[in-house]
Structure 1
Amino acid sequence: MNQQVNVVKVDGDQLRIEDVVSIARNATHIQLTEEALNRVRASRAMVEKMVSQQEVVYGITTGFGKFSDVMIHDEDVSKLQENLIMSHACGMGDPYAVEVVRAMMALRINALAKGYSGIREETLLQLVELCNRGVHPIIPQQGSLGASGDLAPLAHMVLVMLGKGEALVNGKRLSGKEALSKVGLSPIRLEAKEGLALINGTQAMTAQLCLALYDSRVLLESAELIAAMTIEALRGIPKAFDPQLHLVRPHPGQQESAKRLLQHLSGSKRTTAQGELRVQDPYSLRCLPQVHGATRDTLEYVWTTVTRECNSVTDNPILFTETGDVISGGNFHGQPMAFAADFLAIAIAELANISERRTERLVNPQLSGLPGFLTENGGLHSGFMITQYVAASIVSENKVLCHPASVDSIPSSANQEDHVSMGTTSARKLRTIVSNVTKVLAIEYLAAAQAIDFGSGDLGTGTARAYEQLRRVIPRLHEDREMHPDLVKAEELIQQGTLAFVTE
Structure 2
Amino acid sequence: RAAMFARASSMARGGAGVRPVLVETWGAMLKAGIHPYVPSIGSVGASDLALCANMALPMLGEGRAEVHGAWVDGAAAMADAGIGIITPVEKEGLALCAANSVAVGLGALALADITNLLELMDGIAVLSFEAFRANPSPIDPRVVMARGAPGQARAAQSLRAKLAGTGLFEPGAPRRVQDPISLRCISHVHGSLRAAIDFCRPNVEVELNGAGDNPVVLEADNEILSNGNFHTPAMAVAFDALALAMAQTATMAAQRTGRMLQTLYSDLPDGLTQYGTTHAGLGLMSLTSETLSKEIHLLGAPASLLDSSTYNVEDHAPMTPMAVRKAAGAIDLLRQIAACELITAAQAFDLRKPERCAHVAQALRDQVRKLVPPLEDDRSMTQDVVAVADAIRSGAMQVCLEATGKAA
Match of 1:168, SS state, is strand
Distance in 1 between the 2:325 and 2:270 partners? 38
Determine the structure 1 residue equivalent to 2:329.
432
Give the superposition deviation at 1:410.
2.9
Offset at residue 124 of structure 1 (A): 2.7
Match of 1:454 in 2: 351
Establish whether residue 118 from structure 1 lines up as the match of residue 2 from structure 2. Answer: no
Q: What corresponds to 2:41 in structure 1?
A: 142
Task: Note if contact 1:238-1:272 (Cα within 8 Å) is conserved in structure 2.
Answer: no
Greater relative CO, 1 or 2 (CA 8 Å, sep 6+): 2
Judging changes above 3 Å, is the alpha-carbon distance between structure 1 residues 360 and 321 closer, same or farther for their aligned structure 2 residues?
same
In the other structure, the counterpart of 1:21 is none
Match of 2:300 in 1: 402
Give, as a single letter, the amino acid of the residue that structure 2 aligns with 1:199: C
What is the Cα deviation at residue 372 of structure 1? 1.1
Matched to 1:501, the amino acid is E
CA 1:271–1:366: 2 relative to 1, 3 Å: farther
How far residue 224 of structure 1 moved from its aligned partner, in angstroms, is: 1.0
Q: Which amino acid aligns with 1:116?
A: G
Alpha-carbon separation, structure 2, partners of 1:243 and 1:179: 58
CA positional deviation for 1:324 = 1.5
In 1, the alpha carbon distance for the partners of 2:248 and 2:78 equals 44
Identity among equivalent positions (%) equals: 34
Matches within 5 A, 1:283-322: 283-322=181-220
> In the alignment, is the contact (CA less than 8 A) between 1:180 and 1:187 conserved in 2?
yes
1:140-166 CA distances to partner (integer Å, 9 max, x unpaired)? 11110110x000110001111111111
Residue in structure 1 matched with residue 142 of structure 2 by the alignment: 244
Question: Which digits, 9 at most, give the CA deviation of each residue in 1:450-493, with x for residues without a partner?
Answer: 00111121221221111122222222111222212211221123
Partner amino acid, structure 2, of 1:449: A
Unaligned runs of 5+ in 2: none
Cα deviation per residue 1:189-232 (whole Å; 9 max; x = unaligned)? 11111011112111111111111111111111111111111111
Native 8 Å contact 2:218 2:224 kept in 1: yes
Q: CA deviation at 1:273?
A: 4.3
Task: Give the Cα–Cα distance (whole angstroms) in 1 for the partners of residues 183 and 274 of structure 2.
Answer: 25
Matches within 5 A, 1:3-18: none
Output the CA distance in 1 between the equivalents of 2:60 and 2:10. 20
One-letter identity of the residue aligned with 2:373 = P
* Contact kept? 1:381, 1:480, Cα under 8 Å: yes
Give the structure 1 partner of residue 239 of structure 2.
341
Residue 417 of structure 1 corresponds to which residue in structure 2? 314
Distance 1:275 1:491 in 2: 32
Contact 1:236-1:272 within 8 A present in 2 as well: no
Cα distance in 1, alignment partners of residues 227 and 340 from structure 2: 48
Displacement, 1:274? Answer: 6.6
Any residues of structure 2 matched to 1:122-271 within 5 Å, and which?
Answer: 122-147=21-46, 149-269=47-167
Q: 1:312 offset after TM fit, Å?
A: 1.1
What one-letter code is carried by the residue in structure 1 that aligns with 2:331? V
Whether the 8 Å contact between 2:135 and 2:168 is mirrored in structure 1 is: no
Is residue 134–residue 174 contact of structure 2 (8 Å, CA) maintained in 1? no
SS in structure 2 of the partner of residue 126 of structure 1: helix
Which structure has the larger Rg? 1
The answer to whether the 8 A contact 1:144-1:153 is kept is yes
Q: 2-side partners of 1:429 and 1:219: how far apart?
A: 16
Choose between structure 1 and 2: higher helix proportion.
2
Give the partner amino acid of 1:420. Answer: A
1:270-312 deviation per Cα after TM superposition (whole angstroms, max 9, x unaligned): 6774796322111111111111112112212222221222101
Aligned-partner Cα distance in 1 for 2:210–2:238: 16
Deviation of 1:117 (Å): 1.1
Q: 1:275 to 1:267 in 2, by over 3 A?
A: closer
- Report deviation, 1:428: 0.9
Confirm or deny: 8 A CA contact 1:165 1:176 kept in the other structure.
yes
Unaligned runs of 5+ in 1: 1-101
Cα separation, partners in 2 of 1:199 and 1:503, compared to 1, 3 Å:
farther
For residues 48 and 77 of structure 2, the distance between their equivalents in structure 1, rounded to whole angstroms, comes to 23
1:233: Cα distance to partner? 1.0
The residue identity in structure 1 corresponding to 2:308 is I
* 2:402 aligned residue: 501
The answer as to 2:2 corresponding to 1:108 is: no
Partners of 2:214 and 2:388 lie apart in 1 by: 46
What's the CA shift for 1:383? 1.6
Is it true that 1:279 corresponds to 2:177 in the alignment?
yes
Contact 1:144/1:422 (<8 A) preserved: yes
Alpha-carbon distance in 1 for matches of 2:383, 2:80: 38
Letter in 2 for 1:486: D
For residues 371-393 of structure 1, the C-alpha deviation after alignment (integer angstroms, 9 at most, x for no partner) is: 11111224553121112111111
Q: SS at 1:281's partner residue? A: coil
TM-score of the two chains, using structure 2 as the length reference: 0.94
Distance 1:426 1:121, change over 3 A: same
- Which residues in structure 2 correspond to 1:47-66 (within 5 Å)? none
Deviates more, 1:468-477 or 1:235-244: 468-477
SS state at 2:284 partner: helix
How far did 1:409 drift? 3.4
Map Cα deviations across residues 397-426 of structure 1 (whole Å, 9 max, x no partner): 11111000011233323x120000110011
